[in-house]
Amino acid sequence: MDDIKVYALSTCIHCRNAKKYLDECGVKYNCVHVDELSGDERKEIVQQIKDLNPAVSFPTIVIKDTVVVGYHKDKIDKALEKEGIK
């Protein structure tokens, strides 16, 4: 579960679709809904996302050392294969 982290917004359809796709792939992941955080915790998470994806767009998916920005099945599949998860 620590191998995959999804930074998402609770209201984002692309985020929902990405999580659904990961579920369909049968992989476990940790999801952080940034819009449900507040204060220092939110600032810290936004900085983490900024370090990975300067545009801070959603979803930002981290699969071990590979970052996938947006909901792109092909890129998610490549990252899962590259990191030996799928």
Tell me the CATH number at 18: 3.40.30.10
CB-based contacts of 78: which residues, under 8 Å, 6+ apart?
A: none
Q: How far apart are CA 21 and CA 85, in angstroms?
A: 14
Residue 85 lies in a domain: no
Contacts 24+ apart (CB under 8 A), 62-70: 62/4, 62/5, 62/6, 62/7, 63/3, 63/4, 64/3, 64/4, 70/14
Q: How many domains does the chain have?
A: 1
- Domain ranges, residue 66: 4-79
| Statement: residue 1 has pLDDT above 90 | no
Helix axes 73-82, 13-25, angle to 10 degrees: 40
pLDDT range class, residue 74, cuts 50, 70, 90: very high
Q: What is the pTM of this model?
A: 0.94
Place of tokens 């900085």: 47
pLDDT-derived band of residue 2, with 50, 70 and 90 as boundaries? confident
Q: Is residue 86 part of a domain?
A: no
Q: 14-73 pLDDT, tens per residue?
A: 999 999 999 999 999 999 999 999 999 999 999 999 999 999 999 999 999 999 999 999
The answer to whether residue 49 sits within a structural domain is: yes
